Amino acid sequence: MKNMEEMFANTGALQKGHFRLTSGLHSDTYLQCALVLQYPDKARQMAEQMAEKLGDVRPDVVVGPAMGGVTWAYQLGLTLGCRALFAERSEDVMSLRRGFSVKPGEKVLVAEDVSTTGGSAMEVIRLLEGYRANILGVALIVDRTAGKLDFGFPYWSLYQIEPKVWRPADCPQCQAGIPTDKPGSR
């Protein structure tokens, strides 16, 4: 979606360089959604676009992984008129803390800012399955696989891109001695 690419470029959220992603992979492109989400009007616009994509999908609660999914889940909850929670790691395990809970059968939408492998969203899905939630799917701002993710549930994204990624051992920038930047939350 051209509007999203412009929004990411204009806010400095679309970055080029040598990055170590949360997944452990290396890439020449990084998307820092926080630089877009810091503008409430842009967050609202993205959530409204996602609401259109979701159509009749109406959750009781939206849950995002900390850190990247916190603001996105909150804005989606506000737009969709439902609760918004975040999951966070405790001793390397995703959990609901701070008194948050999900009731069995509640309709839940997972909200994630950027996904390369789907790892964080899958951790939240496994957590919600433990609560016996009715998982509706995953709402991504950015799909870094251009449609190739498999969560085992439907997913929707606002911006699809497929930048180059490498395992560290195969990374040409590492081989050239270019230091990595690790801007993610883990």
Phi-psi region of 170 (alpha: psi -120 to 50; beta: other; left: phi over 0): alpha
Alpha-helical (H) ranges within the chain are 2-10, 34-37, 40-54, 68-80, 119-130, 172-175
Q: Tens of pLDDT along 55-105?
A: 999 999 999 999 889 999 999 999 999 999 999 998 888 999 999 999 999
pTM attached to this predicted model: 0.88
Q: Which residue type does 35 have?
A: L
Give me the pLDDT at residue 184, please.
65
The domains of the chain, with CATH numbers, are 2-175 (3.40.50.2020)
Per-residue pLDDT of 99-153, as tens digits, reads 999 999 999 999 999 988 888 999 999 999 999 999 999 999 999 888 899 999 9
pLDDT digits (tens, 9 = 90+) for 111-123: 999 988 888 999 9
What confidence category does residue 1 fall into, taking pLDDT thresholds of 50, 70 and 90? very low
